[in-house]
Structure 1
Amino acid sequence: MSSVPYVEDFFVVNRWILRCAGLWRPETKNKTIQLLYTGYATGIFLFVNVFFTFTEFLSLIYTYNNEYDLIKNVSFALTHLMGAVKVIFFYFQGNNLIKIMTTLESAELHYENSFEREFFPGLISRTYKKEGIKYTLLFFMLAHATLISSYIPPTIAALQYEEGNPRKTLPEKLPYYSWMPFRCATSTTYLIALGYQAIPMFSYAYSIVGMDTLFMNIMNCIGMNLDIIQGAFATLRERSVEKTTGPLLTPDGLYNSQDLKIILNQEMKKVCRHLQTVYKVCEDLENIHTFLTLSQTTATLFILCSCLYLVSTTPASSKQFLAEIVYMIAMGFQLILYCWFGNEVTLKADNMPFYIWQCDWITADSEFKRAMIFTMVRAKRPLRLTAGKFAPLTLGTFIAIIKASYSFYTVIKNTSD
């Protein structure tokens, strides 16, 4: 265990996904690569996030007469609008998010192992990184499964199309609603239209997954730091003793020796500073991200409601049914990523006073005890990441949104009936 170092690149997968979305520049200093990437990012932004998003809303003109088509059109247009909003958000706030990530990964926040209490911070950091990668890739696969399940049936139909054969006709619609600059009357033009539409759809997938999992993984990294801080408080004396070469107690055995006292106070100050840094990071993240989180949770409420309606009105035997189910699962998973990891941060922060109490303070001096008491008082204040500063990111909020989505769905369903 002593050879397990801290992880060095906690957000590696998030960076690669955002790089594909045109949001994270390559680290290379090669001017040609940087210039090509600038062109790629500019093209993606203008074509996908500006032009194509606009055409999705423009297509509402053609779908407003059909309730099913209109709800589906609005649902996907809203999802992709949120993707465009997240891209713009990263352009303005990306540097602040990078500062938060750098702070959380700082080597100044590292600690030694404690074999007596089995405290191995390097191993903890690796466990949390694996968890972040797992959920990032799972959401990434769900997003692609949504697109693939939507595109495979019409692609196969277009490839098998035979003019005059009633069993092998072209699909009546494209998988998603958007204004098209040409008609899709033949197999070739339909396949071209699928490709034209697929480019922005996969770009949306990268930007949405990249931004959502980045926020998730920042909360995951905050949870990792809180977990390590808990262990650092609980093992504070054991780690300090390892650094002491002289006696541990005064001759009467009532207090710590002078050498141990100095080391204990230094360690206490280090862990307290670490905890204060995490509180400051949470405050900064809340100020930066809270209204984007509110927009996403509000949009997800409507999108889940529309997903329920689309699933309930799509025949289970149809090819479209699977695509609607996968899309609904992906949107629910997106919401639970926000709420689950926000809930974990809250729970770990709430438990902090119990770990501070375990730092073996009986023989410590008044300076140590004073720092301990002040930190416990601060730790009793709830730590919450919120959506719009009024709805905490907890499992309770997730359940409330699911209930509200179902309630809105029943209203729409009853009205349509």
Structure 2
Amino acid sequence: MLRNLLIRLENPKRELLGPNVKALEFWGILLPESKPRRYMYIFLHALVFLFTFTEYVDIFFILNSDLILVLTNVKITLLATISCCKISTFLFWQKRWKDIIDYVTRADSSARAAAAAAAGRGDANIIRSYTRYSRKITYLFWSLMATTNLFVIVQPILKFFCSSEYRENVRKGEEPLAQVVSSWVPFVKTTTSGFLGASAYQIFAAIYGGGWITSYDTNAMVIMVFFRGQLELLRRNCVRLYDTVSDDEVRRRIIACHTTHKELVKFAALYNSCLSPVMFLYMVVCSFMLCASVYQTLMETNPLNRFLIAEFLIFGVSQLFLYCWHGNDVTFMSNQVQSGVFESGWYKRNIYRRELVLLGYQLDKTIRFTAGPFVSLNISSFTSILKGAYSYYTLLK
């Protein structure tokens, strides 16, 4: 059954981004052409935006209560805020994202066709490798998000059945029933109908918000993997510039490498313009989230709550790490492309030296993804955020 589902997610016209684009369409992030469906998705998005606003209202009312509860609500609210920023920017820059997705599909299909036509060069192995890796990243991240969402949704039930003290407090009216996600509603939540109504809205927001995060993040990460793979293929093509071919073919190859890199730089800049503002906000928020999660883990006495906080911490760290890891990978490979020109047989044939120099200047342009105007997406930035989060934790403690 699972295998059939994964097969249905594939798209022969989008061999790399098939599952990712289908997820974007399923959650309404890539808006459909049909007006009724488009308005339906806009309405669903508006409901989640409204729910995030109610979380802020709820925080205002519980500011003077238990610190652990306040930190939990603030963490979840900040995560929801980041999700709203991701989706609102994606919807606002819908044309940019469609251009990026179309370019990735077009360039990937062209690379696959070229690899199939020139069997034995090893290019097909690189394409298969980064395609398999993209699927692993996509499905593992979906699984992690689904697990996190599941624990968030069932934690009130687990708390009720696992804690006799909590059940007794609820029976006596000394403690309210735990909510899926703490939020404000314009009716009384202590009644049965009020609690069920608030829980239904919270479950909808948790599931839909989880769909937002998984579809946006996996699409962004797979596009990073694509850039890395294309840069590796480009480097190999540079090494083969002078391989036993005619003079005209050498010139054609130099032009093809120049054009390919120029397009990669252009669309990488467009991609970075869409991702960078969101990542800057996420890095700022992530430091607080990590700090608060560590503090809660050490201060919390309930084993179930500790487990839920730890799972939330793992999700936050892995999300940030994947972005920084793939950003670092792209930058590293971008710096390696130019060496392919020097590894070619340029010294064997005294032709097109000027064009080769111009190609070298073009390949010297490094592709780098950033989080805002100051921070690069790399491993160094990731470790800096972890150090910053520990410093904040020390101050909070």
Question: What TM-score, normalized to structure 2?
Answer: 0.86
**In 1: Cα distance, 2:292 partner to 2:162 partner:** 32
**Matched residue of 2:309: which SS?**
helix
| CA shift in 2, pair 1:306/1:325, >3 Å | same
Matched, 1:24 2:30: yes
**Matched residue of 1:111: which SS?**
helix
**In 2: Cα distance, 1:261 partner to 1:8 partner:** 35
Instruction: Give the CA deviation at 1:399.
Output: 0.5
> Which residue identity does 1:92 align to in structure 2?
F
| CA shift in 2, pair 1:141/1:108, >3 Å | closer
Aligned to 1:135: 137
Aligned to 1:126: 128
Matched, 1:294 2:273: no
> Which residue identity does 2:131 align to in structure 1?
K
Alignment of 1:1-80 (within 5 A): 8-25=14-31, 34-49=34-49, 51-65=50-64, 66-80=66-80
Matched, 1:328 2:313: yes
**In 1: Cα distance, 2:340 partner to 2:143 partner:** 38
Aligned to 2:8: none
Alpha-carbon contact 1:114-1:235 (below 8 Å) kept: no
Range with greater deviation from structure 2 (100-109 or 39-48): 100-109
| Deviation string, structure 1 residues 129-172 (Cα, Å, up to 9, x no partner) | 2212211222222222112112224235668999xx73985864
| CA shift in 2, pair 1:386/1:161, >3 Å | closer
Alpha-carbon contact 2:155-2:180 (below 8 Å) kept: no
| Deviation string, structure 1 residues 374-399 (Cα, Å, up to 9, x no partner) | 22234334332111122111100000
**In 1: Cα distance, 2:361 partner to 2:340 partner:** 13
Gap regions ≥5 residues in structure 2: 1-11
Matched, 1:216 2:221: yes
**In 2: Cα distance, 1:147 partner to 1:228 partner:** 38
| Deviation string, structure 1 residues 90-117 (Cα, Å, up to 9, x no partner) | 111122122122223324555346989x
User: Structure 1 residue aligned with 2:209, among 204, 227, 241?
Assistant: 204
Alpha-carbon contact 2:327-2:378 (below 8 Å) kept: yes
Alpha-carbon contact 2:145-2:315 (below 8 Å) kept: yes
- The number of equivalent residue pairs is 378
Instruction: Give the CA deviation at 1:15.
Output: 1.7
**In 1: Cα distance, 2:40 partner to 2:160 partner:** 30
What RMSD over aligned residues (CA atoms) do the two structures have, in Å?
A: 2.8
Alignment of 1:9-408 (within 5 A): 9-25=15-31, 34-49=34-49, 51-65=50-64, 66-106=66-106, 107-108=109-110, 111-112=114-115, 119-156=121-158, 166=168, 172-185=177-190, 190-238=195-243, 241=245, 260-315=246-301, 317-367=302-352, 369-408=353-392
> Which residue identity does 1:355 align to in structure 2?
G
**Matched residue of 1:269: which SS?**
helix
**In 1: Cα distance, 2:350 partner to 2:97 partner:** 40
**In 2: Cα distance, 1:95 partner to 1:140 partner:** 25
**In 2: Cα distance, 1:297 partner to 1:371 partner:** 42
**In 1: Cα distance, 2:198 partner to 2:163 partner:** 15
**In 2: Cα distance, 1:126 partner to 1:198 partner:** 38
Question: What TM-score, normalized to structure 1?
Answer: 0.82
Instruction: Give the CA deviation at 1:221.
Output: 0.9
**Matched residue of 1:389: which SS?**
coil
**In 2: Cα distance, 1:68 partner to 1:157 partner:** 16
**Matched residue of 1:351: which SS?**
helix
| CA shift in 2, pair 1:7/1:362, >3 Å | farther
| Deviation string, structure 1 residues 329-362 (Cα, Å, up to 9, x no partner) | 1111110121011001101011112212222112
> Which residue identity does 1:327 align to in structure 2?
F
Counting aligned pairs with the same residue, the percent is: 21
Instruction: Give the CA deviation at 1:363.
Output: 3.1
**In 2: Cα distance, 1:42 partner to 1:381 partner:** 40
**In 2: Cα distance, 1:54 partner to 1:185 partner:** 21
Alpha-carbon contact 1:158-1:191 (below 8 Å) kept: no
Alpha-carbon contact 2:59-2:73 (below 8 Å) kept: yes
